[in-house]
Amino acid sequence: MPVAVEIDNLVVRYGEKTAVDGLTLTVTGGTVTSVLGPNGAGKTTTVESCEGFRRPDSGQVRVLGLDPIADHDELMPRIGVMLQEGGAWSGVRALEMLRYVAGLHAHPLELPDLIERLDLGTCGRTPYRRLSGGQKQRLSLAMAIVGRPEIVFLDEPTTGLDPHGRREIWQLIRDLRDDGVTVVLTTHAMDEAEQLSDQVHVVSAGKLIASGTPDVLTEHGAKSLEDVYLALTAKPAKETR
């Protein structure tokens, strides 16, 4: 399978703080790949480097063979991005926003099907600021995929959803992958990563500390991914007298 994302020795600093510290990883096309890590590990900065929002201090990022900053206008129609929060005018109505984003693309998805699948019909005329957390998440996901992208970056896509909603989104992510869309997922939900991922990358302190399929990382189901993750990212024990 082709490489969809190639990150080579990426370093991103915010002033004195190094958020990403020599990270190297690849994402294979047509897979669901999860990037896991504690808060502040550099996950969002890594993904935002792929989306063209962060300029690497050193190293290289290639998405679909393109530089996210130098080739911004060529790359953006080909990717979908779900932000962790926000991303819409406070007074815009839900479906008005979705139609607007769809209109920026050449071959958007059929909106009635998408609206039904993500259950956006009942809140279609509701201003964005009055949507529930779950409705905002579903609208944000709809905006990420409406342009028929080759790759979607989903930042904590099921935060704020009830269990039914989570399962629906999981199935949608599987359907995207089955239809040939590459999905890059950042999440704190280990069950989500274990259920959905073909490949998992664990990031800590800006570095890649483990990679593999969920099956390999969990030693063929002998451990849960959460246990593996907790062991990998455990803080060093404090010395006691």
Partner 1 sequence: MSTTYAPQPGSAPWTRKVLSHARMEFRLLIRNGEQLLLALVIPLGLLLLLGGTGLGDRLPLGDGRAVDLAVPRVLALAVLSSSFTSLAIATGFERRYGVIKRLGASPLSRTGLLAGKIGSVLAIQVIQLAVLVGTGFALGWKPVGGASAVIGVVLMIVCGTAAFASLGLLMSGILRAEATLAAANLLYLLLLVGGGLMTPVDEYPAGMQSVVRLLPSAALANGLANSTIEGVIPWAAALSLALWSALLAYLVSRTFRWD
Chain contacts with partner 1 (rule: CB under 8 A): 48, 51-53, 72-73, 76-81, 83, 85-92, 96, 100-101, 103-107, 109, 113, 143, 145, 147-150, 175-176, 178-181
Which of 119, 116, 113, 153 shows the shortest CA–CA distance to 136? 119
Say if CB 208 and CB 41 are below 8 A apart.
no
Which residue type is seen at 168? E
Which of 1, 62, 5, 16 shows the shortest CA–CA distance to 201? 5
**Which one, 47 or 228, has the nearer CB to partner 1?**
47
Buried b (16+ CB within 10 A) or exposed e, 168-202: bbbebbeebbeeebbbbbbbebbebbbbbbbbbbb
Chain centroid to CA 26: how far? 14
**Which one, 1 or 222, has the nearer CB to partner 1?**
1
**Which one, 85 or 227, has the nearer CB to partner 1?**
85
Kindly state the smallest distance separating residue 87's Cβ from partner 1, in Å.
4
Which residue type is seen at 17? K
Kindly state the smallest distance separating residue 54's Cβ from partner 1, in Å.
9
Q: Tell me how many degrees the CA angle 26-167-89 measures, rounded to the nearest 5.
A: 75
**Which one, 72 or 130, has the nearer CB to partner 1?**
72
Which of 107, 196, 199, 119 shows the shortest CA–CA distance to 149? 107
Kindly state the smallest distance separating residue 139's Cβ from partner 1, in Å.
11
**Which one, 87 or 212, has the nearer CB to partner 1?**
87
Kindly state the smallest distance separating residue 24's Cβ from partner 1, in Å.
24
**Which one, 178 or 239, has the nearer CB to partner 1?**
178
Kindly state the smallest distance separating residue 98's Cβ from partner 1, in Å.
12
Kindly state the smallest distance separating residue 115's Cβ from partner 1, in Å.
14
